[in-house]
Amino acid sequence: MEGAWTVEKRLSMKYDSFKDYENAPETGCLSIIVLGASGDLAKKKTFPALFNLYRQGFLQSNEVHIFGYARTKLSDDQLRDRIRGFLSHGKEYTEDLTKFLQLIKYVSGSYDSAEGFQALDKAISEHEVSKNSAEGSSRRLFYFALPPSVYPSVCKMIKHHCMNRSDLGGWTRIVVEKPFGKDLASAEKLSSQIGELFDEPQIYRIDHYLGKELVQNLLVLRFANRFFLPLWNRDNIDNVQIVFREDFGTDGRGGYFDEYGIIRDIIQNHLLQVFCLIAMEKPISLKPEHIRDEKVKVLQSVLPIKNEEVVLGQYEGYREDPTVPDNSNTPTFATMVLRIHNERWEGVPFVLKAGKALNSRKAEVRVQFKDVPGDIFRCQKQGRNEFVIRLQPLEAIYMKLTVKQPGLEMSTVQSELDLSYRQRYQGVVIPEAYERLILDTIRGDQQHFVRRDELKEAWEIFTPLLHRIDNGEFKPTSYKPGSRGPAEADELLQKVGYVQTHGYIWIPPTL
C-alpha cells in the first residue's frame, strides 16, 4: 500500500509541477519586433496601435521595448521621426509620445541574412539583460509588416537566430498579416513552411476585422440574448447580406490590388470571418479552440459556389492606372451567394458583397426576416423586418420593424429600435482593431486569429472560382465609379429573395 501511495504521490507531484510550468507567471521583459518597420503598414497601423496600448497603460515602459527591423539604413532617431507624424497628437499626449519613442530601437538588415538577425538578437538580448530578465522568462513578439513572399525566409532566420532561449514562462510568437496565399495550394505551402518552424500556438494569423468592436459583439448578441435564439434559423430568416463598400478606387495600390482582386482582398478573409460568426453554432465555452472549432464546421458545410450566383464587376477607369495591365481581368466588385448545407441554414442564401469606387462607404451585416404570415395590416409592400449591424462607419445596431404611424388612422410605417454607439456610449473611445489584436497576442489569446485548418477550409470554398477568373473563363462587367455596381448584382439579390425596403432610410441619431 505504501509503495502504491508513494508512486501515486510522485505522479501527483509531477503533474502539479507540470501545471506550474504550464502556468508559469509572465514576469520577463517583453520585446516587440516590428519587421518591415519602414513600410506603410508599420507606420500607419502597427506603431500607432502600440502607442495607444502604451498610452492606455497596457504596455509598461519598465518591461517593454520595441525594435524596428527593415532593409532601409536608418538610425534610431530617423525611424522615430518617420513614425512620429502617424501617432496621436495633442498637448495631452506630448509626454507620452516622447517616452514611447524612446522605447524604439532600430536594426537594419535583409530578410534572409543571418548577420542581420544575429544583430537583432544581440540588441534584444542586451535589452533583456538590462532589465534583469531571467534567461528563458522573456517574451518576444515578432510582427510581420511584410509581404508574404518573405515570410518563409524571415521565419527561418527567427527560428535559427532570435528565439527565446527556453520556456521558463517566456515565449516567442509571430504575427503574420494577410494575404495568406493566393489559393488553396499556395496557402497550404505557406502554412507548411511556417508550420515546420513554429507550432500552431506560436502563430497568430491576423485578420483585423476580427478585432472590430461590432464584430466582437456578434457572439454576445447571438448567444446572450434570449429573443434571438429561437429566430436565428431557416424558419425565420429569409436571407443574410454581408456588405463591404468603398467610395474610392485603388488609389495608388493598383499594382498590388491587381495581383489579388476584391475576392482575395476582402471576401475570402474579412467577410468570411463575419459570415462564420453569424452562422456558427453556439460554442461550449469562450475558449479560443471551442470558438474556432465551430467556425471550421460552418466552412466545411458550405456548398460549392455556383457560377450563376456570382456577379463580378470592374469599375471604368481601373485599367488607366499605369501599374495595372491593359487587359486586366481582376474584379474590383463581387457579389456571390454562399449556401450552408446543415439543419439550421438549409435554403438560406448568404450574400457576400464587396466593391470599390461605389456610391457609399460602409461595412454592415443585414439579416432579413421572412414575411409575417397572415398580414392583416397590408404592410408587406413597405418592407420586411431586418436586423442590421453596421461595422463601420458610425458603429450601430438597429432593428427595422413596422409600427403604427402616429395619428387617427390605422396605418403602418417602417421605423427602428436603435443602438448607435456614438450616442449610447458618449465619451467612450472604441479601440482600433490592431490595438485589440496585438494585446490578444501578448496575452496569448488566439480567439480572434485564424487557425490553419480554418484557413484551408476558406480557400477550399473560393479556389475553384478564383481559378476560373484567373484563367479568363469568368469576366467582370464594367460599372461606373460612384454607382451601386453592376445592375446584375441587384438582380441576383432579388433572385435569391431579398426584398428591398422602399421609402425608409436609417438616419444615424445625433447627440
Active site residue 270: yes
Contact 348, 232 (CB under 8 A): no
Which of 65, 127, 208, 270 is an active site residue? 270
Q: In degrees, to the nearest 5, what angle opens at C-alpha 463 toward C-alphas 446 and 216?
A: 30
Q: Following CA atoms 455, 456, 457, 458 in sequence, which dihedral angle do they give, to the nearest 10 degrees?
A: 50
d(CA 262, CA 332): 5
Asked if 174 and 203 count as a contact pair (C-beta separation under 8 A), the reply is yes
Pairing of strands 396-404, 412-420: antiparallel
180 vs 198: CA distance, rounded Å: 16
Question: Alpha carbon of 448 to those of 251, 266, 451: distances in Å?
Answer: 29, 17, 9
Q: What strand order describes the sheet that includes 333-339?
A: 412-420, 396-404, 386-392, 362-369, 237-245, 349-355, 333-339, 310-315, 477-479
- The residues, ordered by sequence, that sit 6+ positions from 251 with a Cβ below 8 Å of its Cβ are none
**Which one-letter DSSP state was computed for residue 166?**
-
Is 208:434 a contact under the CB 8 Å cutoff? yes
Question: Nine-digit cell at 192?
Answer: 507548411
Do 70 and 82 contact (CB within 8 A), yes or no? Answer: no
Distance CA 174, CA 206 (A): 10
According to DSSP, the residues that pair with 364 across neighbouring strands are 243, 390
CB of 413 closer than 8 Å to CB of 405: yes
d(CA 202, CA 443): 12
Cell 438597429 belongs to residue: 398
Closest to 180 (Cα-Cα) out of 213, 212, 204, 211: 204
Measured between alpha carbons, how far is 115 from 414 in angstroms, rounded to an integer?
66
Q: Which residues are catalytic?
A: 270
